[in-house]
Amino acid sequence: MYVKRFSLLAAAAATVVLCTAPRISAQDISATVLHADRVFDGLKMYDDWVVVVSGNRIVDAGPVSSVSIPEDADMLRFEGATLLPGLIDAHSHLLLHPYNETSWNDQVLKESFAERAIRAGVHAGNTLRAGFTSLRDLGSEGAGYVDVGVKQAIEKGVIPGPRLIVSGKAIVATGSYGPKGFAEHVHVPLGAEEADGLEGIQREVRDQIGNGADFIKVYADYRWGPNGEARPTFSIEELQQAVATAGSSGRTVVAHASTAEAMRRATIAGVESIEHGDGGTPEVFQMMAEAGVILCPTIAAGHAIMQYGGWDPGTDSDPERIVRKKQSIEDALEAGVTLCNGSDVGVFSHGDNPRELELMVDYGVSPLGALTAATSVNAKLMHMEDAVGRVQTGFLADIVIVDGNPAEAISDIRNVVLVMKDGEIVVGPR
């Protein structure tokens, strides 16, 4: 991959295709022109496009022959590369770090809020440099509303990181969540907030909104069955109360659900997305498709956890959890369910977010389908579809350029040569 930087005015005498494009008077407008071999606009792949950025916006994008180039524009040419919208991970946990470093219990019980916030800042920087310019964060996991503070620190420019929408504490049924295993007289902090009944659900949803949650996460099931297996927690009515209360404030609800019954209840209740979905049946996935509920499969989390337990995917046969996940993806695709890109990063290392896209392709999603999930689909899920997730005039200049063609080899998404967020180059020539 070859990168060349030059002024269009200085290149006027050179043999440069861009010089034949129509031009407008710059009038003191500072612009950067990005020219890669290919541009994925969030829906389709195009050859020989250019993208013009001024300030924090994309001011033009399209074929070289039709784009207006300001005369004082600075051009960056990336040969052999692909330009895409800034990538989006719709299921992240910036306040967690890999479980093979420190167990989830110990992170919740032994790490201070200060340590966890500092870690989250490091994680945010790693994520941004990997080309992920937006995240949906799915719960602070025992750290209160530290996720809200991390979001605000990024917005103020205190630390670099993706733009965030956050869920705060998340909501669980009493007795269902952890940490567990302590004597009855020992009261430990939980990884989420308990609530029960219609009034209790309403109160907790309102409290989380008041403390800065952008959306509400509920655990529609959890591992509290007689043998530690996942079983539904909230009733349909309780879930409907959460959806109605959040909806009155213009917010949505997403549901952790891995059992078919919890997925069914959550779909009936009107949640926006279901996280995980391992135990979904064809009938439940058909319900989701008809209701427009998005599946956030989090393939990479289970894949990582199995490896922490000693599984070698290169040589060992697939354990039951992996077999079940592959079947759920197949059934969801067959039913026409929309899949987003959500990895559950935090279970594994931040910055390794492309792992989910690679596994989506391994499990039957086309490379273009995976790229769409990580851009325009996730932008819609975050209710930011008018600002991010597309390479389109007027959108925020969130852009990533990678060496190679991820539509042919999805792992090329790791070959980051430029990251731009809000028009500022984070990675690459400046």
Tokens of 427: 């990675």
Predicted TM-score (pTM) of the model is 0.93
For residue range 194-250, list pLDDT tens digits in order: 999 999 999 999 999 999 999 999 999 999 999 999 999 999 999 999 999 999 999
The pLDDT value given to residue 367? 98
For residue range 102-134, list pLDDT tens digits in order: 999 999 999 999 999 999 999 999 999 999 999
The pLDDT value given to residue 4? 61
Tokens of 343: 């990895």
Strand partners, 85: 399
Buried b (16+ CB within 10 A) or exposed e, 283-300: ebbbbbbeeebbbbbbbb
30, amino acid identity = S
Residue 49, CB-side half-sphere exposure with 13 Å CA sphere: 21
Please give the C-alpha separations between residue 223 and each of 52, 219, 275, 403, in angstroms, as whole numbers.
50, 10, 15, 42
Long-range interactions of 372-377: CB distance < 8 A, separation 24+ = 372/42, 372/43, 373/339, 373/340, 373/341, 374/87, 374/88, 374/89, 374/341, 375/40, 375/42, 375/84, 375/85, 375/86, 375/87, 375/88, 376/42, 376/43, 376/85, 377/294, 377/338, 377/339, 377/340, 377/341
Domains of the chain: 2-85+390-427 (2.30.40.10), 87-381 (3.20.20.140)
Q: Tokens 């990580």 label which residue?
A: 374
Asked whether 399 and 53 are in contact (CB, 8 A), the reply is: yes
Within the chain, which residues score under 70 in pLDDT? 1-29
The pLDDT value given to residue 51? 98
Element (H, E) at 218: strand 216-219
Please give the C-alpha separations between residue 189 and each of 115, 141, 142, 174, in angstroms, as whole numbers.
17, 10, 7, 13
Distance CA 289, CA 337 (A): 5
Residue 365, CB-side half-sphere exposure with 13 Å CA sphere: 29
16, amino acid identity = V
